Amino acid sequence: MKLIDTQRANQLILVKHRLAGIGVCHRRLLALRLPIKMFERLARIRLLYVVLAVLLLVGLLPLSVAGILLSRRTAEELRAIEGRYQAQLVRDKARQIELYGQRYREVVIGLARAFEIAGGNRLPADSGYDARLQKSLQDDPNLIALAICPVRGEIHRAFQVDLIKREEVDQRISEVLAHMSGRGVVIGRPQVIRSGQEMGLTIAAPVMSGEEITAAVIAIVSFQEVFKAVQQTSSKGARELMDAGLPVVFVVDQNGRAVAHPDAAVAFSERPMTDLKVVQDWLETGAQVQSALEPFSLERDGRVTPMLGSYATVELNKNSLLGVIAIQDEAAALASVGDMRRQTLFISMLAAVLALVFGFYFADKLTRPVRELAAGAQRIAAGDFSQRVKVLGRTELGELGASFNQMTDQVERFVGDLQRSAEENHELFLGTVKALAAAIDGKDPYTRGHSERVSRFSVATAQALALPEGEIEKIRISALLHDIGKIGIDDRVLKKPSALTDEEFEIMKSHPQKGFKIMSQIPAMRDFLPGMYMHHEMINGEGYPQGLQGNQIPMQARVVSVADTFDAMTTERPYQRAMDLEAALTRLKSFVGTRYDARVVAAFIAACEAGRIRPGVTRVNRKQSTARNMQPISLPPTPDSVLAVS
């Protein structure tokens, strides 16, 4: 026994080395074919397009980048200029309104001082003050009303009857007198004069006699000059100014209500302007900040519009402040930047067209030799080494063409030699595998030719399944070697003519592991291991050696399993007579879903119906096998015996 085991071990070592060497040659052949197939699959990009793309990139990229950077810089500068202009504008308007208010503040104070000098505590009712007041109104059209209100005595008043009513004058007088105390001048909030549809500002100054107030001089001043100050043009309203990219200037009081606006109706309705963030900011800062620039957003026509905003404070009196607000559509203000960008785009497109026209001409001349070389390389990749490229010229491309033709000659010779060697090695590989399988099958006359038939049946089934050629080749080799593990099974068990004991059956079931252990040490055999190792697995998970089920079993093993069982059922064995084709196929169908994959069985049957699979019946000389005492028996309810010894 030791001598037999030693001989068997030596045979295995020899087979391993031989298969490993053949596997290296086989991989070299595949390595030669793989780059060619990959080259064929790669999408070709014409060099002409690359040259044109480079020309466009080199020509347009600097221009585009410069245009973008310049427009951004211009936009920033223009935004800063507009901001400075707005800030200066509101400061100028605020100063102008302050001077206007200060002017009439001084007028009222001057009248009060004049009455003090004249004896403000003795103002007779018939002293002609009404006429004097009326003359003052006539001399200054901005004065809507003047009044002298003694503490004791009759009020003297004069007003422009076409602009204000007496009741409105008396109401303004009452409001301003309610806030008067001490020597300070009182300036009321600008209010609408309803009868004349004009905005008026009330200013009051006390007439003193020592520390006692004896009277008050009150003036109602027109706000028309302030309206003129905030209007950029007399013919455009706020929307027209904004659409034109011009700033809209208006004045609000300390409550955020408009008191002067390019649209007079806005001021006369005393509309709150607190929905504008710039107005909110001014109300929050008050007199603490004289002027500021505040970018903000405004919803116009259903869309949010970036705006430039600024404000300045008008101090008519310590307790009387106004805010001059300017807002401007940022996009309209920076319209020139948009024009610059459009011009840059136009110039870029023109440059692109010129670059394409001239670039196409020169690139075509430049790339024509390269295309010839590429076409020659494709012919070589397709296996045609008979053609040579025609690239003439004294440039590097001409030299490259000559070198390419020399290389083609050498590659043609080399590939021819390599293909012949690869084909010889492949045939040697297959021959070695077949010889090894035949040696295993030859141990028992009942299994002679079994591996070859299983391989043939497996290939036909794989083709019926429309598997890829590479997978079919793997199945072919795997089926040839599926029983190689039996080389490690004792001949007393392998050739036993009678039924196997449980212990012997377990030994027989170990042949997949033994085959896996032998072949897994050879890298070239890695792709064929599933069929060798798993061809006794069952779909329901009750097979061996791993108990795999369903899709856990590789397709290679599922195909070999059906082919192996079919050959075992259709050839004579010590434990059974051969079945005919119909009986064997019926038996296979009965185990679909439990032992075999339905798709594989269907493909196997289709191959049988197409005549590609025919049972291989092995006959033996009965006189030579009387020791086996073979008796005709029927297949047991389950094909375990078939699977165990097949």
Share of the chain above pLDDT 90, in %: 16
Taken in order 427, 428, 433, 439, the sign of the CA dihedral is positive
Find out whether 607 and 461 touch, Cβ atoms under 8 Å.
yes
Q: Which ranges of 286-395 would DSSP assign to H, the alpha helix?
A: 330-333, 335-381
DSSP bridge partners of 252: 258, 323
Q: What is the pLDDT of residues 3-29, one digit of tens each?
A: 444 555 555 555 555 555 545 544 554
Backbone angles phi, psi at 436, to 5 degrees: -65, -45
Report yes or no: 608 and 585 within 8 Å, Cβ to Cβ. Answer: yes
Cα separation, 497 vs 446, in Å, equals 11
Residue 371 has what pLDDT?
A: 72
| CA angle centred on 494, ends 489 and 496, rounded to 5° | 145
Question: Would you say how long the chain is, in residues?
Answer: 646
* Whole-number pLDDT of residue 309: 84
pLDDT of residue 287: 57
Tell me the pLDDT band of 622, cut-offs 50, 70 and 90.
Answer: very low
Backbone angles phi, psi at 370, to 5 degrees: -65, -35
Per-residue three-class SS string for 443-498: CCHHHCCHHHHHHHHHHHHHHHCCCCHHHHHHHHHHHHCCCHHHHHCCHHHHCCCC
Quote the pLDDT of residue 441.
Answer: 64
Please check the confidence at residue 601 and state whether its pLDDT lies above 90: yes
What does the pLDDT look like over 529-569, one tens digit per residue? Answer: 898 899 999 999 999 999 999 999 999 999 999 999 999 88
CA distance 472 to 461: 9
What does the alpha-carbon distance between residue 318 and residue 321 come to, in Å, rounded to a whole number? 7
Alpha-carbon dihedral sign for residues 135, 136, 140, 145 = negative
Q: Which residues contact 590 (CB under 8 A, 6 or more apart)?
A: none
- d(C-alpha 76, C-alpha 81), whole Å: 9
3-state secondary structure of 59: helix
Phi and psi (nearest 5°) for 584? -65, -45
Task: For residue 193, give the nearest of 233, 220, 158 by alpha carbon.
Answer: 220
Report the alpha-carbon distance of residue 462 to residue 136 in Å, rounded: 118
pLDDT of residue 288: 63
Question: Is residue 434 predicted with pLDDT exceeding 60?
Answer: yes
Which of 328-337, 463-472, 593-602 has the weakest average pLDDT?
328-337
| Pairing label, strands 156-159, 248-252 | unpaired
Place of tokens 């901005």: 142
636 confidence band (pLDDT: 50, 70, 90) = very low
| pLDDT attached to residue 127 | 56
Least confident of 34-38, 229-233, 293-297, 533-537: 34-38
The pLDDT, as a whole number, for residue 646 is 55
Number of Cβ within a 10 Å radius of residue 398: 13
Q: Tokens 């004792």 map to which residue?
A: 490
CB-count exposure of residue 616 (10 Å: 0-12, 13-18, 19+): middle
Q: What pLDDT score was predicted for residue 27?
A: 52
Give pLDDT, residue 445. Answer: 59
Look up tokens 């391989």; give the residue: 455
Residue 545: what pLDDT? 93
